Amino acid sequence: MMRHGLLPMLLAGFVGIGPAVAQVADPTRPAGALMTQESAGGIAAPAESGVQTVIVRPKGKSAAVINGQYVEVGGKLGDKRVLKISESEVVLLGEGGREVMKVTPDIEKVPVKKATAAKRRTTGTTEK
């Protein structure tokens, strides 16, 4: 008889946990990414802002996805023309001048300083 009372309690516990689990932030979402609340089911979705993807083609036109729109070098994004696409930024030119959009604005790429190689002794030699 105890088993019949245990099953409804467990089910009630899982049903109560469901809404709490739905509130957990997506751990794979980049830091600082904006989220919007969709009306259908209250599912959070990334807000379209900035550079989302870059495709660097060494022998062709590089491309990017900016605010959900696919653009290539030389193409237009609104009233701005795409001048350059690199792995770290997209350069636009419009009436207001030149605009640089960073792929990861919160992360600054800093080259690593190479340590000088330590002098190595050759093994097996003896000095007299």
- Domain annotation covers residue 16: no
Task: Kindly report the CATH number assigned to the domain that includes residue 93.
Answer: 2.30.30
Residue 48 Cα distances to 57, 65, 76, 125, 126, angstroms:
24, 10, 17, 66, 69
pLDDT tens for 80-103 read 999 999 999 999 999 999 999 988
- Domain annotation covers residue 66: yes
- Domain annotation covers residue 119: no
What is the tally of structural domains in the chain? 1
- Domain annotation covers residue 65: yes
What is the rounded average pLDDT of the residues 42-54? Answer: 68
- Domain annotation covers residue 74: yes
pLDDT tens for 17-31 read 555 555 566 666 655
Quote the domain boundaries for residue 57.
Answer: 49-104
Rounded mean pLDDT of the chain?
A: 74
